[in-house]
Amino acid sequence: MGILEKLRNLRFLQLNHSYEGSKMVCSAHGFPQLETLIFASLCELEEWEIEEGAMPYLMTLQLMNLNYLMMIPEGLKSVTAIQELKICGIRGELKNRVQVTDGVEGEDFDKGAGWMVRDDNGAVLYACQLQMDGLRDPKVA
């Protein structure tokens, strides 16, 4: 990501079958204008790190078919512009960490606090009034 994150005017980035490493780092001050980030079918990605100050204008994040990603990056909490987080086509450890099972939130569920989280079928797992018109209280589906 070292070269891409230095592109000052990049606003949309979609990586589809295009990253072969097991670890990805978004550096502090990287992607200064990025608004939409889509990761799809990054088959080898296991770990993603987001340093504080990265992607300050990111509003939409979609994570699709990331079968080996172990967890949502802790640094995502510092990306405060996010309005939508869509996670679909995941399984294994990550799925367990983001879903609610029998009323118990997964370990990474709070990393999506204040965002909209949807399952594979588009059902809202979590939504917050600040980003979703018409919702007054957080809802769990």
* 75-101: average pLDDT: 78
- Paired with 64 in beta bridges are 40, 88
The pLDDT of residue 134 is above 50: no
Q: Would you say residue 11 has pLDDT above 90?
A: yes
SS3 content of the chain, % helix, strand, coil (to 5): 15, 30, 60
Separation of alpha carbons 103 and 83, rounded Å: 24
Give pLDDT tens digits for 28-64: 999 999 999 999 998 899 999 999 999 999 999 988 8
CA distance 91 to 84: 20
The residue among 71 and 102 whose pLDDT is bigger is: 71
Mean pLDDT over 65-76 rounds to 86
Radius of gyration of the chain (CA): 14
Mean pLDDT is lowest, of 6-15, 49-58, 94-103, 106-115, for: 106-115
Contact assessment for residue 50 and residue 27, using Cβ atoms and an 8 Å cutoff: no
Lowest mean pLDDT among 50-64, 82-96, 123-137: 123-137
Average pLDDT over residues 88-98: 73
pLDDT of residue 97 exceeding 50: yes
Q: For the chain, what is the domain count?
A: 1
Strand (E) positions, the chain? 12-16, 23-26, 36-40, 47-50, 60-64, 84-88, 100-101, 104-105, 117-118, 124-127, 139-140
Which structural domain range is residue 123 located in? 4-140
Alpha-carbon distance of 7 to 5, in angstroms, equals: 6
pTM of the predicted structure, to 2 decimals: 0.74
Distance between CA atoms of 104 and 89, rounded to whole angstroms?
Answer: 21
